[in-house]
Structure 1
Amino acid sequence: MMKTKINHIIYTLLLVAISWSASFAQTGKAAAAKVSGSLVNDQGKPLDYASVSIIKATDSTVVKGALSNDNGIYSFDKIPAGKYLVKATVVGYAKAISKPFTVTEGSGTIEVPVINMQAGNTTLKTVTVTASKPLVERKIDRTVMNVEGSVLAAGNTAMEILARAPGVTVDKDDNISLKGKQGVTVMINDKLTYLTPAQLATLLRSTDGNTIKSIEIITNPSAKYDAAGNSGIINIKLKKNAQSGTNGSITAGVAKGRYWRDNSSLNLNHKDGNLNVFGTFSRGDSKRAHDLLLDRVVSNGQGVTNYFNQQSYMPDANHYNNYRIGADYDLTPKHTIGFVVSGYSNTENNHNSTSTIIGTKYGVADSSLRTNSVFEQAYKNIAVNLNDRLKIDTNGQELSFDLDYSKFNNGNNAQYTTDYFLADGSTQRPSQLLRNQSPSTITIYTAKVDYTKPLTKTIKLEAGAKYSNVKTDNDLRAQIDSSGVYINDKGRSNHFIYDEKIEAGYLNLNKQFKKTSIQVGLRAECTQSNGNLIGSTPVNRSYLNFFPSAFINHTINDKNEVSLSYSRRIDRPGYDALNPFIFYLDPYTFQKGNAFLNPQYTQNFEFNYTYNKTINVSLGYSRTTDAITELILTEGEKTFQTNKNLQTQTGYNANINTPFTITKWWEGNVNVTAFYLGFKSDSLAGFNFNDGQWAYQARTTQTFKFAGARLEVMGDYQSKLTYGIYKIRPRYSVDLGISKSFFDKKLNVKVACDDVFNIRRNNLSSNELGNNFDIRQRNDSRVGRLTLTYNFGNNSIKVRQHRSGADDEKGRVKGNN
């Protein structure tokens, strides 16, 4: 019944959009004359952001002014009858004036011949333009966090920065949520990251914050984007220098929490004529502490209740080396080809110690055990992208191609030693020695093409196709000690191979009216997958899905704007979640995959209101079927973690984001989100489950400028909330940082402290599905950081920053650091 209603709403929206478009086309009055044209330099390349004005030919009176866009195109609307000239100016070039032309009644659109601007004879000395972007800004279809230049970014990793983004939370297992919902798709430079949550967390933890330009949060993406991600897309934009000559920057930082950390990075760029070569290398060492307290109450099914009190200390030491090298070459002013090679080589070592007291009364030991575990992990990746972008004409017709290859080689060696004791501390039985070796390989091939065609001055068509082929190979070799010799443990060993192919295509149609724009789109994705646990029956799937989207944006007046959007999305299970093997953490705790997980589907609706291009209010509703949810279940006295499909997940959210300026030296931003998450399943592990709760998150950033320095203070609070079977307690913290530049702004010094009051915690509990447990976690969150950045080379004049098609793939893998 609900599905029928939702489909009726979708069809109604599409019919309204079509009929609205037709009515506008039939009743709209003839527009006043429009004048447009383009600017190129003496090499025939488009000139962007040039000042262009239309002036009367009789007395040189300025009628209107504008800026040229990325393609060097400018336009003027509502030009009355008369005789005119177009004048263009841009730094480094001589002033240029068009030939006279005449506008008459009913002229429609007048195309001014291309204006060729010649380089000026005057040598321009270094000009420094200081334009401070707000840390958080709201755009029509997304929220942007401007990381570049922020004192809170320096010395932090991408994961740590992401945890501070508006509406974003990162839980105890590094799962990312947006407005309270998991299922976020993370992209880097507009490219998917085909990684499991654990692998994605590793990648983000090893990405230096100094290499990030901005983070874009897109809660309701169009059909142009992959349909994955029920709560939206987070797009991390990396820096790409677009200045002439040779230039770059060196960054070095040191930090101290419970342990010392360090990081450094090098950015280089060389642009000469049609060739632009760029590269980034970053490295770092980070050791972090993690304390875990777990209390469990377990019934053995025979009337006996046992209490498990577990304390774990789990420090992890990470070393990372990341690189990114690429080049763009302009074959013609309208045709650019390029490549990017990127990758990493990371290691992670964990030495964990866990003590567990077991008794029939809380805090009283009848027996105990102690497990010491050592994990040695290595992660390597190489990714290659080839891209081709062609601007077919000056009206905005474009064609772009991307070919991508990526390979991950992950290795994990683990050794466990468990000692058993009686209540008096004497040995209960001999120690148990276990060893795991789990190499895994992930190979990804993708190809995509995107085409943009303006059908008229107000109608634009976008179309594209994409193919991806992902293969994962996980080989768990579990061994157990037998009289001093490790032998294979067949009960815990397994070899899991997963293949997935997706063919996709999309169409977007955008119609622009005087104050209203309408976009409708449809994406189709055909998925074929094969999950093969060697020795078991393979699980094969093949399904075709359609993902419609619709967007309506209306400008009421100069200060008020509203929009309504809808999209349907999918989340396929992570590769590791599909692997049905059992992975033991200790004799009473293990993880188990589920090869029969189904994809989840989400219907998203969102309304936005924007006041004065700054204050934004949004209301959202979503409904997810077959919701993939992490569960903790019990088998006798053993507890295990797995994933299952819940019947439905319902979400409501309201968000307000507003920047403010108190004085010229004090500005900031406030972001508040209230949301409800409800979960329902008629039969889940033998229980009827129906739970939900309203919650809210508030985050504020304050920026103070004084004596050439910049001070930033960020505070955030998340109330208690319900997520599936978990009751998550409130979380809050305060971060601050200060920066100042020296030596003609070539050297920047930043000092910052995360979680100043050391109050950030991740605590949760559950009394659902027969569970009774309480988890208290404390990470190494209070960290002081010092970061130095030195800029060098030719930074005087910015040139055209053309965008390559380079950066689209890698999202549901497990284990990148």
Structure 2
Amino acid sequence: MKKVTLSIIFIASIFTSLTPAMAQFPMGGSTAPKTLQDQTPKGNSKITGTIVDSTTNKTVEFASIALLDKTTSKPVDGTMADEKGKFTMSKVAAGTFKLQVTFIGYNTKSIDVTLAKGQELDLGNVVITSSAKLLNEVTVTGQAALIEEKVDRLVYNAEKDITAKGGDAADVLRKVPLLTVDLDGNVSLRGSQNIRVLINNKPSTIIASSVADALKQIPADQIKTVEVITSPSAKYDAEGSGGIINIITKKNNLQGLSLNIDGGLGNRGSMLGLNGSYRKGKGGVTLGGFGRSIYNTITKTSLDQTSIVNGVSTLTKQTGDGSSHGLFGQYNLGFDYDLAKNQSLTAGVRYGVRNFSNQQDLVTKIYNDGILNSDASSRRYVDADNLSGTVDVNLDYLHTYKKPQQEWSISTLYSRNDLTNNFDANLMNPEGQTSGRQRNINTNLNQEFTFQSDYQTPIKKNQMLEFGGKGIFREVTSDYKFLFAGPTGNFSTEINQPQGELTYHQNIAAAYSSYTYTTKKRYTIKGGLRYEHTFIDASTKEGGPIGVGDYGILVPSINASKTIKGTTVKLAYNKRIQRPGLQQLNPNFNSANPQNITIGDPSLKPEITDNFELTLSKNIKKTFINASFFGRITNNAISQVRIPSDTLEGAIITTFKNIGRQHSYGTNIFANVAVTSKMNIGIFANILHTTLTGQVLGIDNVTQSLTNSGFNVSGGLFSQATFKNGWGAQAFGFMQGNQVQLQGNQGGFAFYTVGIKKDFKNKKGSIGLAGENFFNKRFNISSELKSAQFNQVSNIYMYNRGVRLTFSYKLGKMTVDAPKKKARSVNNDDVKSDGQGGGQQGGGTQGGGTPR
């Protein structure tokens, strides 16, 4: 309780210090001025036109148009372009005016206009040019619909991925440059799984438990863009040594009532989603949800491992036949309301559910010094359940001011994840009868409350100042029991068997300041400082307090960009912190497979990483090329460590340790070729070299010095084409090489998919067909792990040949409403995922993209 009080005092001091600073900047008056409509003399003339980008020749959505008195330069009327770039000003009085067009990232356009009484003036295309002073970003023209490059991130537009429809977020992320996603949905950014994944700038406790499982709950066709933030500014939490991935889902800025129906049916999975919205005037309500099921996911495994314990060599041979199925769902209720012209309130409730089950038939044979040990050999049927329910509740407020881009926000979030990891195992005798039963019960709770406030204001036309503060109050608990029973009867605990309870309180107080400056020669520099102090109170029921200790960290960041003769150059440096995640801390003794046991370590400390990055991008005629070169130096690196068990014969125990140092450097190269206006081809390659060094305490308390290094290589190809009458096609394929781990290598794999889609004439619906891995019956992922005390070779055979039929249809009539800034939501990106999500670690895919 004392540490919680200290956290509150620390946060209060942050906001106390921020208050005088905010007072230095004009906040705007509290009395709303009369509207232009109230001040404008009415007439019967009319002005229309269309706003067009001078470079791309495409229309510009939602540009602002003002009509000024030519003599006094005072505004007399105004409007905003719609989503097609068109605008109309009606009931304009006769006279001589100056029409002014403004939009972020473009130069102001002025046109002299003379109107006669009753005249209808059509200005046609009003062409505006890109500004030479971009405050926060440099946009790559020509391919902007595919990729947008900002000073600290890369934005991938995913709206037309027809092969992913009916799939989940992992299917989309596989095509995002810089990312790799393995067959279980585990995500890596430039070879690192120490990343944070956000949804609409919001965290969720389900992400903290497992990124792979969270991605299964997001339907692919609801994703609009994916932001890859390789060098996060001080505004973001310091967590995520590899970077941040922000998934932006589709939002409705329309007026009226609508209902969208999306579905998919395949031989390995199906999906049905219903999303409705109602907007009228200042307020809007959204209500929706979807359910997704997976089935027919068959796997076969083999394991050969040798270990030496107390001078005895033990050979373990194991085969497994498994299958899995699951139901995933997510349901949301959202509300937004414009309190005033410059104030908005946003609230939402989201509930996610995951029901995943995996069954395995494991046959294990144990050999001691080459002789079969019948007593230690076994056969067991295992049924493992991974269940969770997640609730996120947010309330956000945003205040904007007369000065463009000046705003102040308050954001709150309560998030709770109830997670259950259980398994039941039936032990079989040689006659095929049940000789005994085992049960592991592990219930986890991860809940947190967050409060933050942010303020930003432009300084002149080429500078931006941002600062803010944040507090996170987090509680994690894990209750675990290991039970035994005979062939029949009740379960009971036994002496010296794993059971206990972990309580882990983690409170974080943070403050930051960030400054952006753009020179006349188009240099953009964004620098910042962030300080975070972490208060930890951790204990186990059986062992008492855990001495992790409080800690603070100062996190600098700097990003710079410059466009030189069409080539955009970006340089970046930042320091990041990686706190351990729930499953890495969880001390539950998971022995669903007694030869591969997993247990967390609640005494883990955070890891600290220094990141360096150089990125070059350029359009060469119809080809866009992006190449990045990066390096990472990590101290106190959290890594999986495996040691032979000295009590369970032939078993290997996997846990997590702060092993020491990790050095990584490499390059990502991505190219997209616009073959025609309706067809593009993308190609990518990733090369990463990693060196891991550290010391591990093995059996008999013997310390081992470990070092491993090597290259991780992956690459692939992507293509999309659109045809007449609403037809479209898309193909994607990749190959992933071996992944370096501290004690060996994770096997590589390949993947490919092809799809077609037909839009209905009224554009209200579509139907599609997609297939994946149809030429391959199965893929084999072979891995080898080794140390001085053991050697393990494992094979996983994935039977993932699939086909699915997809459809969508829209009901209701909507009219366009210009989007307004809504309250900013809480953005917790501060804990580390276990990087597993129910399967293999590492691996990955990546690829190109589709145009908007």
TM bucket normalised to smaller: 0.7 to 0.9
Q: Which residue number in structure 1 is paired with residue 625 of structure 2? A: 615
Q: Classify the secondary structure of the residue corresponding to 1:627.
A: strand
Alpha carbons of 1:512 and 1:39: their partners in 2 closer, same or farther (altered >3 Å)?
Answer: farther
CA distance in 2, matches of 1:83, 1:529: 58
Q: 1:328 to 1:278 in 2, by over 3 A?
A: same
Shift of 1:748: 0.8
Residues 111, 179 of structure 1: alpha-carbon distance in 2 compared, 3 angstrom cutoff:
closer
Question: Is 1:713 the counterpart of 2:731 in the alignment?
Answer: yes
Aligned to 1:473: 477
Are 1:634 and 2:644 counterparts?
Answer: yes
In the TM superposition, what is the alpha-carbon distance from 1:530 to its structure 2 partner?
2.0
Match of 1:566 among 543, 565, 573: 573
Q: Does 1:501 align with 2:507?
A: yes
CA distances 1:24-72 after superposition (whole Å, capped 9, x unpaired): xxxxxxxxxxxxxx9998599xxxx996799xxxxxxx9xx99988784
Residues 594, 644 of structure 1: 8 Å contact kept: yes
Residue type of the alignment partner of 2:658: N
After TM superposition, the structure 1 stretch with the greater mean CA deviation from structure 2, 319-328 or 621-630, is 319-328
Q: In 1, are the aligned partners of 2:681 and 2:720 still within 8 Å (CA)? A: yes
Distance in 2 of aligned mates of 1:419 and 1:342: 44
Once the two structures are superposed, residues 174-222 of structure 1 have per-residue CA deviations (whole angstroms, 9 ceiling, x without a partner) of 5321111120111111112344665332222122222222221111111
Q: 1:286 to 1:299 in 2, by over 3 A?
A: closer
Partner of 1:530: 537
CA distance in 1, matches of 2:801, 2:504: 40
Which residue of 1 is the match for residue 256 of structure 2? 245
Q: Alpha carbons of 1:143 and 1:485: their partners in 2 closer, same or farther (altered >3 Å)?
A: same
CA shift at 1:83, angstroms?
Answer: 15
Which amino acid in 1 is paired with 2:456?
T
Q: 1:89 to 1:460 in 2, by over 3 A?
A: closer
2:29 corresponds to which residue? none
Taking the aligned partners of 2:506 and 2:442, their CA distance within structure 1 comes to 21
SS of 2:213 mapped into structure 1: helix
Q: 1:698 to 1:137 in 2, by over 3 A?
A: farther
Please name the residue that 1:11 is paired with: none
SS in 1 for 2:584: helix
Q: Does 1:396 align with 2:405?
A: yes
Residue identity matched to 2:482: A
Aligned-residue sequence identity (percent) comes to 23
Does structure 2 retain, via aligned residues, the 8 Å contact 1:458–1:511? yes
Q: Determine if contact 1:714/1:734 at 8 Å carries over to the other structure.
A: yes
Query: Is the CA contact (8 Å cut-off) linking 1:85 and 1:98 kept in structure 2?
Result: no
In the TM superposition, residue 88 of structure 1 has moved relative to its aligned partner by 7.7
Q: Aligned partner of 2:764: which letter?
A: K
Q: State the match for 2:848 in structure 1.
A: none
- The 5 Å alignment of 1:377-526 reads 377-421=386-430, 431-481=435-485, 484-490=489-495, 491-514=497-520, 515-526=522-533
Q: Which moved more, 1:361-370 or 1:191-200?
A: 361-370
**1:138 Cα deviation (Å)?**
4.6
Is 1:155 aligned with 2:179?
no
Preserved CA contact (<8 Å) 1:312 1:353: yes
Inter-partner Cα distance in structure 1 for 2:89 and 2:803: 50
Give the TM-score taking structure 1 as reference length.
0.82
SS in 2 for 1:394: coil
Structure 2 CA distance, aligned partners of 1:721 and 1:766? 11
What letter matches 2:790 in structure 1? N
The letter of the residue matching 1:740 is K
Say whether 1:669 aligns with 2:682: yes
Please state whether the residue corresponding to 1:763 is helix, strand or coil: strand
- Which secondary structure does the structure 2 equivalent of 1:395 belong to? coil
Q: Deviation of residue 224 (structure 1)?
A: 0.8
Q: Does 1:94 align with 2:94?
A: no
Cα distance in 2 for residues equivalent to 1:331 and 1:41: 19
CA–CA separation in structure 2 for the residues paired with 1:606 and 1:552: 10
CA deviation after TM superposition for structure 1 residue 679, in Å: 0.5
Number of the residue aligned with 2:315? 307
What is the rounded CA distance, in whole Å, between the counterparts of 2:815 and 2:151 in structure 1?
32
3-state SS, counterpart of residue 252 of structure 2: coil
Contact kept, 8 Å, 1:249 with 1:791, in 2: the verdict is yes
**How much has 1:328 moved relative to structure 2?**
1.3
Asked whether 1:221 is paired with 2:232, we answer: yes
**Paired residues of 1:290 and 1:777 also in contact (CA < 8 A):** no
Q: CA deviation at 1:326?
A: 0.7
Shift of 1:779: 2.9
**Residue matched to 2:343:** 335
Q: CA deviation at 1:404?
A: 0.6
Contact 1:193 1:808 in 2 (8 A): no
| Residues 46-125 of structure 1 aligned to structure 2 (within 5 Å) | 72=64, 90=81, 91=86, 93-94=88-89, 99=97
Q: How far is the alpha carbon of 1:734 from its aligned partner?
A: 1.4
- Equivalent position amino acid for 2:721 in 1: F
Cα offset, 1:361, TM superposition? 8.0
Q: Which amino acid aligns with 1:409?
A: D
- Number of the residue aligned with 1:757: 775
Amino acid at match of 1:744: N
**Does the CA-based 8 Å contact 2:438-2:483 persist in structure 1?**
yes
| 1:281 counterpart = 2:281 | no
Offset at residue 89 of structure 1 (A)? 7.5
Answer yes or no: is the 8 Å Cα contact 1:762–1:777 preserved in 2.
yes
Say if 1:195 and 1:813, in contact at 8 Å, map to a contact too.
Answer: no
Shift of residue 777, structure 1, vs aligned partner:
1.3
Task: Tell me if the contact between 1:52 and 1:86 (Cα under 8 Å) persists in the aligned partners.
Answer: no
* Residue of structure 2 equivalent to 1:3: none
d(CA) in 1 for partners of 2:309 and 2:358? 36
Distance 1:526 1:222 in 2: 18
Root-mean-square deviation (CA), in Å?
3.8
Tell me whether 609-618 or 323-332 shows the greater mean CA deviation: 609-618
Listed as ranges, the matches of 1:162-173 within 5 Å are 162-171=173-182
Q: Secondary structure at the match of 1:386?
A: strand
Cα distance change, pair 522–285 in 1 and its aligned pair in 2 (3 A): same
Q: Which residue of 2 aligns with 1:660?
A: 673
Moved more, 636-645 or 791-800: 791-800
Aligned amino acid, residue 439 of structure 2: R
1:666-686: CA deviation from partner (whole Å, max 9, x where unpaired)? 212222221111101255642
Conservation of the 8 A alpha-carbon contact between 2:708 and 2:744: no
Instruction: Please name the residue that 1:232 is paired with.
Output: 243
Corresponding residue for residue 192 of structure 1: 203
- Structure 2 residue runs without a partner (length 5+): 1-32, 40-47, 68-72, 101-106, 121-141, 839-852
Point out which structure has higher relative CO (alpha carbons under 8 A, 6+ apart).
2
Shift of 1:272: 1.1
Q: Which moved more, 1:774-783 or 1:458-467?
A: 774-783
Letter in 2 for 1:631: V
Greater Cα offset, 717-726 or 523-532: 717-726
Aligned ranges for residues 340-359 of structure 1 at < 5 Å? 340-359=348-367
Specify whether residues 816 and 761 from structure 1 end up closer, same or farther in structure 2 by C-alpha distance, changes over 3 A only: closer
Aligned equivalents of 1:167, 1:179: Cα separation in 2 = 6
Gaps of 5+ in 1: 1-37, 55-61, 76-81, 103-108, 123-130
Structure 2 distance, partners of 1:770, 1:566, is 40
Q: Supply the distance in 1 between the matched residues of 2:264 and 2:652 (Cα, whole angstroms).
A: 42
Between 1:181-190 and 1:751-760, the stretch displaced more is 751-760
Show the counterpart of 1:375.
384
- Classify 1:291/1:40 alpha carbon distance in 2 versus 1 (closer, same or farther; 3 Å): farther
How far did residue 163 of structure 1 move?
Answer: 3.5
Give the partner amino acid of 1:720: N
Cα offset, 1:98, TM superposition: 7.9
| 1:297-343 superposed Cα distances (whole Å, 9 cap, x missing partner) | 33443554332121223322211221111111112222111101101
Change (3 A) 1:462 1:323: same
- The 1-side partners of 2:334 and 2:79 are apart by 34
* Residue pair 1:630, 1:642 contacting (<8 A) in 2 also: yes
Matches within 5 A, 1:719-798: 719-758=737-776, 760-795=779-814, 797-798=816-817
Between the aligned partners of 2:212 and 2:662, the Cα distance in structure 1 is 25
SS in 2 for 1:210: helix
TM-score, with structure 2 as normaliser: 0.79
